[in-house]
């Protein structure tokens, strides 16, 4: 899943091919933007993702899924290459509900990579990154390190 | 059992559109609290052959919400639930089996509820993921 010219890991290609066949595609996750050590995805509002029919507010589940993917991808953009990993833990603090029918953006950032563990954080927002819907923090464990 | 004990059908009716979209259903009741489950399939897949961490988190959250809604209904009360935070720990990769989750209420107070959800597959005692969730309650009097 790397850019043909630079050989660098390409989160857009990854999201549009591999992720689209699974859970990410099922909830309509899309690539939005990225740089070294960060990736922003977007989750367009859809009726079937609603958590409260009366208000039309998105469920929190799809927002966790977006943040899991955005932070996971951010590890690979920091490394510049893919390495197999799984989520060890993920914490989400909900500041407020997302605005009804608004697209929610999820920006994941990897701030430290060690041999076994990558440390990540991020925010979800619905247009203004200074007024986030949620903050997240988590860790991923590298599967290439064999247990000793 | 009380006259307010919700049955499986009424708990299913309380599930949000997102839960239905993920194929979640109520498989049974334990102490009046619902066991929520879904089948393995493309909609819950992360890396090939394994459950997606977010899809699993969604199941744990719905189990927590449903447990609280059931308990509040048992009490004959009404309350709106606002999620404050959730912390999910992933212990084992979820494989290509049906996945179950149950929320256990640690404390249900006037303003705050603390819930712990666990998820498992073939073996009830092999937990694949667990979540701690805090909710703010807006009670209707």
pLDDT in tens, chain A (148 residues): 677 677 789 999 999 988 888 999 999 999 999 999 999 999 999 999 999 888 888 999 999 999 999 999 999 999 999 999 999 999 999 999 999 899 999 999 999 999 999 999 999 999 999 999 999 999 999 999 865 5
What is the token pair recorded at B98?
């049906």
In the block, residue with structure tokens 């029919």: A53
Q: How far is A52 from chain B (nearest CA, A)?
A: 6
Distance from the first to the final alpha carbon of chain B: 23
Q: Measured between alpha carbons, how far is A11 from A73 in angstroms, rounded to an integer? A: 6
> According to the model, what pLDDT value does residue A25 have?
95
| pLDDT number for residue B59 | 98
| A75 inside 8 A of chain B by CB | no
Chain B residue numbers with beta carbons less than 8 Å from the beta carbon of A52 are: 16
Could you give the angle at which helices A60-79 and B53-74 cross, rounded to 10 degrees? 160
Q: Does residue B18 carry a pLDDT above 80?
A: yes
CA distance linking residue B60 with residue B58, whole number of Å? 5
Measured between CA atoms, how close is A92 to chain B, in angstroms? Answer: 5
Instruction: Tell me how close the Cα of A91 comes to any Cα of chain B, in angstroms.
Output: 4
pLDDT at B2 over 60: no
Mean pLDDT throughout B100-105?
98
> For residues B119 and B64, is the Cβ–Cβ distance under 8 A?
no
Mean pLDDT of B52-63: 97
CB-based contact, A108 to chain B, within 8 Å: no
Between residues B37 and A145, the one the model is more confident about: B37
For B63, half-sphere exposure in the C-beta direction (CA atoms, 13 angstrom radius) is 33
- Average pLDDT (B120-127) is 98
Flag the least confident range among A51-55, A73-77, B51-55, B86-90.
A51-55
What's the confidence (pLDDT) of residue A148?
Answer: 52
CB contact under 8 A, A49 and B87: no
- The CA distance from A145 to B84, in Å, is 35
Smallest CA-to-CA distance from B121 within B81, B79, B91 is with: B91
pLDDT of residue B3: 60
Contacts of A101 (CB under 8 A, 6+ apart): A45, A56
Question: Which member of A64, A84, A86 has the closest CB to residue B54?
Answer: A64
Contact B70/B98 with Cβ under 8 angstroms? Answer: no
In order of A34, A39, B122, the CA distances from A9 in angstroms are 11, 12, 36
Give the pLDDT of residue A52: 86
Q: What is the pLDDT of residue A15?
A: 92
Query: Which residues of B are less than 8 Å from A26 in CB distance?
Result: 21-22, 42-44
pLDDT at A31: 97
Distance CA B51, CA A137 (A): 20
> Does residue B1 carry a pLDDT above 60?
no
CB contact under 8 A, B22 and A25: no
């Amino acid at each position: 899943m790397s850019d043909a010219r630079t050989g660098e890991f390409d989160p857009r290609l990854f999201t549009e091919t591999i992720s689209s066949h699974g859970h990410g595609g099922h909830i309509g996750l899309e690539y939005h933007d990225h740089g070294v050590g960060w990736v922003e995805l977007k989750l367009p509002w859809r009726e079937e993702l609603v958590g409260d029919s009366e208000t039309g507010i998105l469920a929190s589940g799809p927002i966790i899924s977006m943040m899991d993917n955005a932070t996971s991808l951010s590890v690979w953009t920091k490394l510049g290459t893919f390495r197999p990993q799984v989520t060890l833990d993920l914490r989400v603090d909900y500041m407020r509900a997302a605005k009804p029918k608004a697209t929610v953006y999820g920006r994941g950032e990897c701030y430290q990579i060690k041999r076994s563990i990558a440390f990540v954080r991020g925010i979800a927002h619905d247009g203004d990154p200074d007024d986030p819907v949620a903050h997240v923090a988590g860790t991923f464990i590298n599967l290439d390190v064999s247990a000793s | 059992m009380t006259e307010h004990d919700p049955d499986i059908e009424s708990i299913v009716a309380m599930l949000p559109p997102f839960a239905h979209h993920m194929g979640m259903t109520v498989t049974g009741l334990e102490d009046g609290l619902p066991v929520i489950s879904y089948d393995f399939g493309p909609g819950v897949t992360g890396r090939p052959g394994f459950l997606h961490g977010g899809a699993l988190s969604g199941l744990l959250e719905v189990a927590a919400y449903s447990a609280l809604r059931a308990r509040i209904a048992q009490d004959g009360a009404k309350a709106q639930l606002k999620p404050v935070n959730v912390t999910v720990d992933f212990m084992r990769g979820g494989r290509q089996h049906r996945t179950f989750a149950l929320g256990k209420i640690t404390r249900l107070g006037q303003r705050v509820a603390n819930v712990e959800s666990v998820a498992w597959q073939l073996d009830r005692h092999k937990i694949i993921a667990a979540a701690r969730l805090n909710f703010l309650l807006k009670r209707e009097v």
